[in-house]
Amino acid sequence: MSGIDVITFGCRLNTYESEVMKAEAAKAGLDDAILVNTCAVTAEAVRQARQAIRRARRENPKARIIVTGCAAQTDAAGFAAMPEVDAVLGNEEKLTAENYRRLPDFGVAADEKLRVNDIMSVTETAPQLVGHIDGHVRAFLQVQNGCDHRCTFCIIPFGRGNSRSVPMGAVVEQARRLVENGYREVVLTGVDATSYGTDLPGRPTLGLLAKTLLKQIPEIARLRLSSIDGIEADRHLFDLIADEPRFMPHLHLSLQHGDDMILKRMKRRHSRADALAFADQVRRLRPQISFGADMIAGFPTETEDMAKNSASLADAIGIAQLHVFPYSPRPGTPAARMPQLDRRLVKERAARLRETAERLQARHLASMVGTRQTVLVEMTGMAHTENFTLVAAPDLIPRSLVTVTITGHNGRHLDMQPQAASAA
């Protein structure tokens, strides 16, 4: 191979940062290199990253393999010990060309491979100017990094550091650049995006940032949030939900569980009642909105009744896209020291919660049959409606916004018939 290849795991923020990494590595003159941007959310994500690194070395024996991301930040020594790995960069170090210029020679000792500093010492997030997101028709835009909360199951604060926000002016500049490059939809991303602004002068909120973007850049056709914590939603966000058609009617909620005792043991800041009240308020403001959510099955001490409470909460809210994670103990977190469930039971409960997810998805899809929708066509022959429902669109032009009639579904995605040949 020649050039720079990037293998990305995990969240939309990682996808955005992979573009920064590729540009910075190229600026440093790096060639014949593979950058692996890892995720640490689950043990499975870490396993997949290690597997990908070994495969990359088999297929590219002469390439330089550089590993970074949250898993590399939290277990730098472990990745440095892999013989396939030439260097390990921390989450902060991966974003600057200087660190790609300072890479060690091949065959050095594990400790010489490391370029990983204390992420907790980082107090600012520098704006990164990205012109495009490779392979995506939606532009991801980082507005925040890190997290000040310490949920008992989560290792991510130790991979990302404390919460820090990108100044509003820099976000507007970056969004304008992306729109000028042809992106119709912008997705605001962060580790804890709803904490945006708490470290900035005047303490602007995520909702105010979104309002400002839509006001100053009228060319933004569609604006989304990648994920939110409903307990932190601000009045500006509710205003957008109620009154702004360019703010898309879809929210991905960080629920994690549906039982109050488990939520308390997770050290979450919301209760079951809070989640229900938030969803009810949002639906009153925008009836056509859909919800996605993350939930963990098999958390330590979870009983059968507690597990059923997660399924019933997802049902009560009407989650259209439910992402189910079997609980995975992350070393160094408080939950890893709690009484653990048998792994077979964890997998069984995750499977049952996924059955609920499939039923709720089918119900949501059925509710959209016969409606007219405006879809943004992806590069893959699929498209997304405004409420982020997947539509098969094999004959439509990628990057176009097209009005279609929904004609049916197969339990996974919608089928459609275009209303017009021209883009909306």
Percent of the chain residues past pLDDT 90, beyond the cut? 76
Last residue of a domain, one of 331, 350, 367: 367
Q: Looking at the structure, do residues 311 and 396 belong to the same domain, yes or no?
A: no
Looking at the structure, do residues 155 and 209 belong to the same domain, yes or no?
yes
The total of structural domains in the chain comes to: 3
- How does residue 108 score in pLDDT terms, banded at 50, 70 and 90? low
Residues 333 and 257 in one domain: yes
Give pTM, 2 decimals: 0.86
Segment (H or E) for 36: strand 33-38
Q: What is the mean pLDDT of residues 349-368?
A: 98
What does residue 316 show for φ and ψ, rounded to 5 degrees?
-65, -40
The boundaries of the domain holding residue 396 are 371-418
Looking at the structure, do residues 76 and 201 belong to the same domain, yes or no? no
Residue 159 has pLDDT above 90, yes or no: no
Q: What is the mean pLDDT of residues 109-122?
A: 67
Q: Are residues 94 and 178 in the same domain?
A: no
**Do 288 and 246 share a structural domain?**
yes
Comparing C-alpha atoms, which of 197, 194, 140, 123 is closest to residue 17? 140
Question: Can you name the residues that pair with 82 across neighbouring β-strands?
Answer: none
Residue 191 pLDDT exceeds 80: yes
Taking 60 as the threshold, does the pLDDT of residue 50 lie above it? yes
Is the residue at 131 inside a domain?
Answer: no
Does 121 map to a domain?
no
